[in-house]
Amino acid sequence: MSAASSLTFRQPPQISLGPNVAASALESWVRGPYRRLWVLTAPPVLALAEQVLAPWREAGAAIEIVTDLAAEPTTAQCEALRARATRFAPDLVIGLGGGSVLDVAKVVAALHDRTEPATDFYGINVLEARRTKLICIPTTAGTGSEVSPNSLLFDDATQTKKAIISPALIPDAAIVDAALMTGLPPSFTATTGIDALAHCLEAYASRNAHPTVDLWALAGVALVGEKLLTAVNHGNDLAARHALATASLYGGLSLGPVNTNGVHALAYPLSGALHLAHGISIALMLPAVVAFNVPAQPTRFAALARALGADPDHCADDATTAAQLPDLLTRLITASGIQLGLRHHGVTAAMIPTLADEALLVTRLLQNNPRPVTRDDAIAIYQAAFEA
């Protein structure tokens, strides 16, 4: 895309980024008129939630904390949580947790005072407005949901992932505090970090790439490449955690104006049919999809390879530099403790044609892919990921 191409950016009015920023970033909210807080979080970070909510409790606010959310939330579960929020009638919704927590908190904030089912709002810009204030505080560095207009749910009826995409889902405040992420286990650090990497990589290598988004995306790739293994192996390293949190934020900022493409499209069926965690699905597909895409954009993939530390002795031109990228990704993923190979994660060879058919339905993402993906292409990519 040329530098003259137009793009619309929609972001939270408040984005606070930095270690230990949460308390100061929330001061004005605590002083504000919000006294009925509906808070969605997860059991492993409940203590962090209580820490964040302490000033509101001291101010006498009514607070309902909900922690029973599946790792891959369904539409039915989201509706049940929305009903609870409706009964509570909050004036402020807070999501504090990983990407699924934030995605559902966004939908609840937008729909708790409406009667239509969530399924009515699948698609792009179907949801027109949100009346309840919303704060998102990530405790993982992966999805970037705290700044994106997207919420993903597993649709019970179709047994596939569906998206609600609307500016109404962009929070009023995003608080990105790496100090809230130091307790994240190594396995989750790895899978969420690879998800952040994929968001940035796909935004940079996209048919809709834009020079402004390129700045975030390429910087995010470099941050993950530099700091992921440190964060995995030394979880209390605040500098490494902050680097990943920043990369995740950059990826989230890229989702609205540019979005992802083939990696996410081919990963979705793995999360749906096999209920694999989103980050694992992304990691399993990332090297194979990138290997397929490299010939379509050698200059851009060369830049991504250099950001991940391509061997300068094998960078004579863009083609040879870009060709290193799939192997660089494979080495980073495996070094972080993720086992590649779909065959190791419950996928059989017989499943591959069905996975390909389901992936081809994700046209909203495949239309962004730098190279068209046919059914035969999708089968070949899954086969490569199966044998990895």
Strands (E), the chain: 14-17, 36-40, 62-66, 92-97, 123-124, 133-138, 150-155, 160-165, 173-176
* pLDDT confidence of residue 44: 94
* pLDDT confidence of residue 12: 96
Report yes or no: 170 and 147 within 8 Å, Cβ to Cβ: yes
Q: Is 216 in the same domain as 364? A: yes
Tell me which residue of 109, 179, 169 sits closest to 144, measured CA to CA. 169
* pLDDT confidence of residue 1: 44
Contacts of 312 (CB under 8 A, 6+ apart): none
* pLDDT confidence of residue 7: 85
Q: Is 235 in the same domain as 373? A: yes
* pLDDT confidence of residue 339: 97
Q: Does 341 reside within a domain? A: yes
* pLDDT confidence of residue 305: 97
Report yes or no: 146 and 250 within 8 Å, Cβ to Cβ: no
> Among 180, 206, 234, where does a domain finish?
180
* pLDDT confidence of residue 154: 87
Q: Does 6 reside within a domain? A: no
> Among 180, 208, 239, where does a domain finish?
180
Q: Is 173 in the same domain as 240? A: no
* pLDDT confidence of residue 160: 81
Low-confidence ranges of the chain (pLDDT < 50): 1-4
32: containing domain: 14-180
* pLDDT confidence of residue 323: 95
Q: Which residue has the tokens 């009638």?
A: 89
Q: Does 36 reside within a domain? A: yes
> Among 180, 210, 231, where does a domain finish?
180
